């Protein structure tokens, strides 16, 4: 429309009216300014045909700009609605939570408290039971199309918290066929599934049997249960954290690493309670003079200072 209006103006002013001051470049400039309804007045048409062209250009300019803005606004609104309904694809999510149980919501909440909010995507078979401030996809988790829509091929960590162990096993195999590098973590009910999931490629598998062992502590070690419940979540007064031993800590003793951690953070106390080797062997309550090696991992209790 910009070019059409410019050619009409050039025809009405240069050819019909014989104006030498109106060339094709002037006509293009006039068309743009008129369609934008700015109208500086430095180039004006001669009455008659020129006025008709000017009116046509102004009307078409309003229509063109209005349609453009409407299309863009509609696209953004559509995308926003699709995201709010879990219909839009997820992009660049390093962490995917897949499932339909309360464990999923607890898991998301814990990841949020540990500042992973922007990296979390949620795949659920139905609309979430409560409002979430993360992106999610609603669909059958067992569908390859849904998983690809959620970006499973690029995810680094995938958590499975489904109500059906057989679905967890099937999903592990399906995800592994799409993404061979992702670390899969799963919550299951039965010991047999726990073993099969590990053989299928899941890195960490937690059985709900551990809940029975934990709750039993309420009978003979209630204090242990209280502390354990506190330190496994970032919401409590303490938190269990792990730190990789790098060149920075290499050659230092447990005592020296603790002192360094306590000096850097004035709000918390740090106590190293375990050392884990790369082969997953570990030592509980290591001696203060022990020197962890590079690639070791130390488990630390981080507590609030009183």
Model pLDDT for residues 23-69, shown as the tens digit of each residue: 999 999 999 999 988 888 899 998 889 999 999 999 999 998 888 88
Q: Which fold has domain 237-304?
A: Alpha-Beta Plaits (3.30.70)
Cα angle value 104/106/111 (rounded, 5°): 95
49 or 216, greater pLDDT: 49
Q: Which fold has domain 2-84?
A: Helix Hairpins (1.10.287)
Q: How far is CA 37 from the centre of its chain?
A: 43
Please name the residues in contact with 88: beta carbons below 8 A apart, sequence gap of 6 or more: 79, 82, 135, 137
Tokens representing residue 164 in the block: 């059906």
Closest CA to 298 of 271, 279, 262: 271
Q: Does pLDDT of 192 surpass 90?
A: no
Task: Spell out the domain ranges in the chain.
Answer: 2-84, 95-211, 237-304
What pLDDT shows up at residue 91? 82
What pLDDT shows up at residue 49? 92
Give the chain's length.
Answer: 306
Least confident of 13-17, 20-24, 278-282: 278-282
Least confident of 49-53, 106-110, 235-239, 288-292: 235-239
| Alpha-carbon radius of gyration of the chain | 32
Q: Does domain 95-211 sit in CATH 3.40.50.720?
A: yes
What pLDDT shows up at residue 85? 62
């Amino acid at each position: 429309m910009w070019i059409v209006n410019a050619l009409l103006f050039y025809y009405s002013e240069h050819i019909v009216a014989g104006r030498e001051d109106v060339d094709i470049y002037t006509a293009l400039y006039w068309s743009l300014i008129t369609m934008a309804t700015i109208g500086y007045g430095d180039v004006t048409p001669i009455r008659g045909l020129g006025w008709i062209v000017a009116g046509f250009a102004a009307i078409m300019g309003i229509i063109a700009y209005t349609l453009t803005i409407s299309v863009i606004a509609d696209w953004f609104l559509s995308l926003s609605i699709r995201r709010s309904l879990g219909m839009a694809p997820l992009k660049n999510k390093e962490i995917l939570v897949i499932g339909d149980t309360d464990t999923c919501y607890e898991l998301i909440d814990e990841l949020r408290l540990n500042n992973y909010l922007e990296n979390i995507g949620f795949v659920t078979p139905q609309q979430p039971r409560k409002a979430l401030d993360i992106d999610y996809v609603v669909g059958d988790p067992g569908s390859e199309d849904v998983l690809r829509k959620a970006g499973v091929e690029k995810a680094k960590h995938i958590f499975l918290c489904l109500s059906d162990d057989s679905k967890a096993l099937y999903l592990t195999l399906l995800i592994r066929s799409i993404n061979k590098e992702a670390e899969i973590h799963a919550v299951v009910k039965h010991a047999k599934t726990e073993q099969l999931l590990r053989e299928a490629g899941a890195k960490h598998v937690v059985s709900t049997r551990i809940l029975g062992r934990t709750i039993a502590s309420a009978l003979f070690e209630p204090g242990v249960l209280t502390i354990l419940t506190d330190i496994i979540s970032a919401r409590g007064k303490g938190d269990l954290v792990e730190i990789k031993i790098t060149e920075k800590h290499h050659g230092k003793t447990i005592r020296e690493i603790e002192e360094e951690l306590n000096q850097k953070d004035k709000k918390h106390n740090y106590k190293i309670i375990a050392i884990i080797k790369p082969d997953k062997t570990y030592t509980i309550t290591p001696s203060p003079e022990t020197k962890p090696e590079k690639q070791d991992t130390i488990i630390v209790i981080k507590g609030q200072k009183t």
